Amino acid sequence: MGVLLCLIMEHAWGHFATRTQSDTFSAMVSSVLPTVPVSPGDVVVRDSRRPSPVVEALAAEGHAVQHVPSRAALIKALASGNPHVVCVPEGDRDPLPPLAEDVVVVRFGPDDPHRLRAAVLEGVQAARTRRMLKQIHKDTARRLEPKSKLVGSSESMRALIDQVHRVMNVTVPVFLQGESGTGKELVARTIHDAGNRAEQPFVALNCASIPEGLQENELFGHERGAFTGAAQAFPGKFEQAHRGTLFLDEVAETSPSVQARLLRVLQEGVVQRLGGTVARAVDVRVVAASHKDLDALVRSGTFRQDLYFRIVVYPIVVAPLRERRDDIPLLIMHFLRKYAGEGSGRIKAMAPEALDQFCAHSWPGNVRQLENAVRRAIIASDGDIGVRVARVILGTESDRNAHSPLVPSPDDDIVPLAELERRAIAHALHVTGGNRALAAKKLGIGRATLHRKLVRRA
């Protein structure tokens, strides 16, 4: 029996893409193998003799035996049930009907009932083991196949998926390093959805979008009366993410006081609300991210070194789109399916010439920018996306606003300040992939100011 299980497991492992997936599968198998029953099962015996000594011998062992005298009767029996073992005479020349993978065939001779009983019992065990492993395959695949899909087959994406599988069931902090728009939050959500915390909360906070004075309140909460206007208690993100995952995007934008409090939570596993005295225990897996170089920030003194060592326990680099261009066609197909219903006509595909235009683009805003471009192309097309629409969307034909120079050459006419402002805003939005908060930061203005300017020019 042990040899059989080894063979089945060796075959099963071949279906997984990574060593981590194989390890997960083998761990699950090891945990359930002791429960494989050594007991009678369902057996179908094909025997033209009436009464059949084989049927009588197996029934005496406690098996649920069905006696079929012919091949036609065997086909009918298999159509109405799924036995563990099918027994047929040795030397029988009639071909067996198609059998399920988890059905074991045992051939019997005219004598030696002891050998037959042992073979049938082992066959029942083998069939049950196969069915159990098949179910484990489904359960494992369900756990390893995240609800939030990571699209791509490039080498960097395969490496990223392997790293996700390595950390999906661990509690150590994970740090995602990547440019804006590369999909760091999607990676964090995938880690959560694929792991053993999938049924618990996933809470995300973009630290760059919260003013410094409000960051502590958002993360740690407050008690009633902690400050003017605090009419009721408020649990912060750590408490909201209890037993689940907290994703801290742009963690480099946290204030020094917030960094000190973050360090305590990671060290002690407790959080204290503003205005409170009670230390509340929290069980949170932290996934942090930044598009900045935390090493450089530590060296410059703007990010705490002790917090750095607590956050960057397992770093994962999320590659920019320009370094995984092989994934662009797959991403385009994914977004076409996702947004196909938004266009005026049914989008079936992207023309090869248009696809070439998209693949050749630099995509400084990474996947977020690509997604927005595909979405605009769908809305602009009545059918399949052609090369003309692609050129307009990518700014290589009539829409050159994102690539217009912010300052004209000496030979150009003087450009009004309003036009320069419009170009600067368009360029910032283009570079950031449409991220208004980041665009406002790059322009040196507040997000509300940028919003007012966009509304005024709409």
pLDDT (tens digit per residue) in 128-175: 877 776 776 555 555 544 444 788 888 999 999 999 999 999 999 999
* 268-284 residue pLDDT tens: 999 999 998 899 999 99
C-alpha to C-alpha distance for 181 and 152, rounded to whole angstroms:
15
Mean pLDDT of the chain: 81
> Which tokens hold the place of 222?
């407050």
Residue 255: per-residue pLDDT: 94
Q: What count of other Cβ atoms lies within 10 Å of the Cβ of residue 400?
A: 10
Say if 150 falls within a structural domain.
no
More confident of the two residues 371 and 26 = 371
Cis status of the peptide bond prior to 110, with omega within 30 of 0? no
Q: Distance (Å, rounded) from C-alpha 18 to C-alpha 123?
A: 31
What's the rounded mean pLDDT across residues 220-228?
89
The string of pLDDT tens digits covering residues 30-88 is 444 444 455 677 898 988 888 888 888 888 888 888 898 888 888 888 877 788 899 98
Q: Are residues 336 and 371 in the same domain?
A: yes
Least confident range of 343-352, 413-422, 435-444: 413-422
Helices 2-13 and 19-32 cross at an angle (nearest 10°) of 150
316 phi, psi to nearest 5 deg = -130, 130
CATH of the domain at 327: 1.10.8.60
Segment 85-99, tens digit of pLDDT: 999 888 787 788 887
Whole-angstrom distance, CA of residue 148 vs CA of residue 244? 16
CATH number of the domain encompassing residue 292:
3.40.50.300
Burial class (CB in 10 A: 0-12, 13-18, 19+), 394: buried
pLDDT of residue 346: 64
> Who has greater pLDDT, 114 or 294?
294
Residues 302 and 211 in one domain: yes
pLDDT digits 0-9 by tens, 377-389: 998 888 788 889 9
| Residues 46 and 17 reside in one and the same domain | yes
Structural domain including 55 reads 1-144
Token digits for 353?
């010439």
- 221 and 293 belong to one structural domain: yes
Task: End-to-end CA distance of the chain: give it in Å, rounded.
Answer: 73
For residue 149, being part of any structural domain is answered with: no
Task: Report angle CA 56, 100, 35 to the nearest 5 degrees.
Answer: 70
Is residue 315 located within the same domain as residue 384?
A: no
| Residue 68 phi, psi (nearest 5) | -125, 130
β-partners of residue 280 are: 271
Shared domain for 198 and 167, answered yes or no, is yes
Checking if the pLDDT of 376 tops 70, the result is yes
CA angle 332, 142, 5 (to 5 degrees): 130
pLDDT over 80 at 190, yes or no: yes
pLDDT level of residue 338 (50, 70, 90 thresholds): confident
3-state secondary structure string across 87-142: EEECCCCCCCCCCCCCCEEEEECCCCHHHHHHHHHHHHHHHHHHHHHHHHHHHHHH
With a CB cutoff of 8 Å and minimum separation 6, the contacts of 458 are none
